[in-house]
Amino acid sequence: MIPLNDILIFALSALVLVISPGPNMIYLISRSITQGRKAGLISLAGVIFGFLFHIVMVSFGLTAVLFAIPFAYTLLKSLGVVYLLYLAYEAIKPNSKNIFETKKDLPDDKPSKLFSTGFLTNVLNPKVAVFYLSFFPQFIKTEYGSILKQSLQLGVVQVLVSFTINFIIVLTASKVALFFAKKPSWIKVQKWFMASVLTGLAIKMAFSKAK
């Protein structure tokens, strides 16, 4: 099993990544603002099941890859660094929009469609798979036992962090949107703060050594 200290560091990293804007967050915010909290929560359930799908697939994949390819760790680490720097750029690129500026004319969807759309938005998002494949190996050590079990353990932590943050977002989306509308200067602060944290994670990952 992975030590508690490493789990806490991973949880902090997962927290930073989940609050960086992406398709899942944009969809949840849009549904919560236009169709209400109930619709947002149903959509969130679909997103979480999408995470579980990725976790199972990636966990088995990591078990095979890390044993089969000697330089797999270096390759995946490089991918992770590029991914984090890409997210940092996305946060501050010119003309990037406030994610709380959503379309107001979205039609209401039935619960089944809300769930399935949330699920597919996550499953079909390649960034999620890239995150798992590149980030998980940074916290896995062979001396801690089964790679599969460690991957699943990290997956559970990531899902719990993602669920908690997204749950809060669903409940507060309307209020946060109103806050940013009244104080647009805070949008720039939020973007640069996010970019700085993501860049810091990328640098830390770049200088990490193989386990």
Ordered by start, the domain boundaries in the chain are 4-92+110-206
Provide the pLDDT confidence category of residue 54 given band limits of 50, 70 and 90: confident
- Provide the pLDDT confidence category of residue 33 given band limits of 50, 70 and 90: confident
**Residue 105 belongs to what H/E stretch?**
none
Among candidates 182, 163, 25, which has minimal Cα distance to 99? 25
Amino acid at 64: A
* Each residue's pLDDT tens digit, 98-117: 555 555 556 788 999 999 99
Q: Supply the pLDDT for residue 67.
A: 58
Please tell me the predicted confidence (pLDDT) of residue 137. 80
pLDDT at 201: 72
Q: How many CB atoms lie within 10 A of CB 71?
A: 9
Q: Is the pLDDT of residue 200 over 60?
A: yes
Residue 142 burial (C-beta neighbours within 10 Å; 0-12, 13-18, 19+)? exposed
What pTM value is reported for the model? Answer: 0.75
3 pLDDT more than 80: yes
* HEC-encoded secondary structure of 182-207: HCCHHHHHHHHHHHHHHHHHHHHHHC
Query: How many CB atoms within 10 Å of residue 207?
Result: 9
CB-side exposure of 124: number of CA atoms within 13 Å? 8
